Amino acid sequence: MLFNSFPFVLLVLVTFGLYYTPALRRWQVPLLSIASLVFYAYNQLNLLWLLLLSVSINIVASYLVVYGNPKNRKFHATWGVVANLLILCFFKYGPLLGRTFLPADGSVGAWLVSLPLPIGISFFTFQGISLVVDTYRNRDVQAYRSLIARNLAKHTQTVFFFKAFFPQLVSGPIVKAHDFLPQISAKFYRDIRWEYCFRTLVLGYFLKMVVADNLKDHTLMITYPYFENLSSFTLLVLLFGYSMQIFADFAGYSLIALGLAALFGYQFPINFNFPYIASSFSDFWRRWHISLSSFLREYLYIPLGGNRKGPFRTYVNLMLTMILGGLWHGAAWSYAVWGFAHGLALAVERLLSDYGLLRVKSSAGVLLKSILVFTYVTAAWLLFKLPEFHHALAYVKAIATNLNKPHDSLSISFIALYSVPVVGYHLFELARQLRTPELGPTAPLLPRLHTALYSLMLFLIITNSGSGGEFIYFQF
């Protein structure tokens, strides 16, 4: 069920009306849980059992960690994490393993390749892992322990709601248990932050429906074999357009999720913080898909040893974390290569920083670093758009050889037009950060400027939305 579909709007309106009915206040969590079941089952009813199985594993594991035999706590936490990972690996990576290591005409290989990919499995699996790990880490902390109800029915209700809450169920943000569980309480209509909800939802829907959905009709040309006869300049513009599209698509989804959660009284972590103005690769990953970056750092990089075991081990941990993070995005080896590329960039950057070779104080130097980071990140997005690695290599070859072919002026013009909001969005933030008192008082103008911008975005959502399409991160 897409966020920009009529059935979804109807689901939200009905749920919202019931949710804030005073007589039903004690049923708020069950109401949102039922709405989440409807949301997930709408398109994948045949895989609803998998979500319920995942939830059940985390209910049992987290409950036994707190209330089971203290001697077996580590065992319960371990099997809970392993069970989560086995489900993820089987459904997400079974087809990849079948294609890579088994004959295509064999019964086992063909069966693995035919496995369906459940929507959102990467996201709700990671949330389940965070619940089990957080419960194990904080099993003796009374403030956290009190969130794991002794009553098994109440605990079941809480865990299901945490994992299945529909705004973040299929594409995040990845909400950690220690951030979400303390928020579960009675919510009141008077406490809704209406201005925040309005602005977040309008910006999110604008980025998705106006920017990303219009760009996708032109970045489609990146797909094999359409790109083979396009000019080198057109191919570069298309790749730039896809960089704009994937940001608008995923940042748009995340903003919609934040706004929807706030309507029901819950706060999600910010998932994007102007990533394309990052002046380093580490800064980029503090700004892009922040919930995944923080999850990988907290539950993988630090447990591996982080930077506590010497420089060499630090570089290995960085590479391993990013390669696994790349594979998390999709069941193709190109995603591992994408993760390797980012891991390598982070490792080299850290090495150069350790020797003091990246100290830049001038504005021009910082700007040049930002351009280099953006160019590298944008080039790497090719592996997202073309998961078949040989297609990505063919695209690079076409850039190098199609210098004299005619340009696709229509696609170039449309990509330039619909990239303006993303570029402006980042430049406005950059200007805000660089603004100094010497430039004069601008604060009184901001409210009127914001009002005009949000009015324009709302108008364009109504009049100039692209053809509806799934969010890019649904496939992950």
- Pair of tokens at residue 185: 């309480």
**354-383 core/surface letters (b: 16 or more CB in 10 A; e: else):** eeeeeeeeeeeeeeebbeebbeebbebbbb
Q: Residue 340 contacts by C-beta under 8 Å, 6 or more apart in sequence?
A: 319, 322, 323, 326
Helix axes 333-354, 389-401, angle to 10 degrees: 70
- Residue 466, judged by CB atoms within 10 A of its CB (0-12, 13-18, 19+), counts as middle
Residue 329 a catalytic site member? yes
Tally of residues, the chain: 476
What phi-psi label fits residue 356: left (phi over 0), alpha (psi between -120 and 50 degrees) or beta? left
d(CA 77, CA 58): 9
Up-side HSE of residue 382: CA atoms within 13 Å toward CB?
25
Pair of tokens at residue 460: 């364009």
**Active-site pick, 155, 178, 329, 342:** 329
Look up residue 267 and give its DSSP letter: -
| Catalytic residue annotation | 329
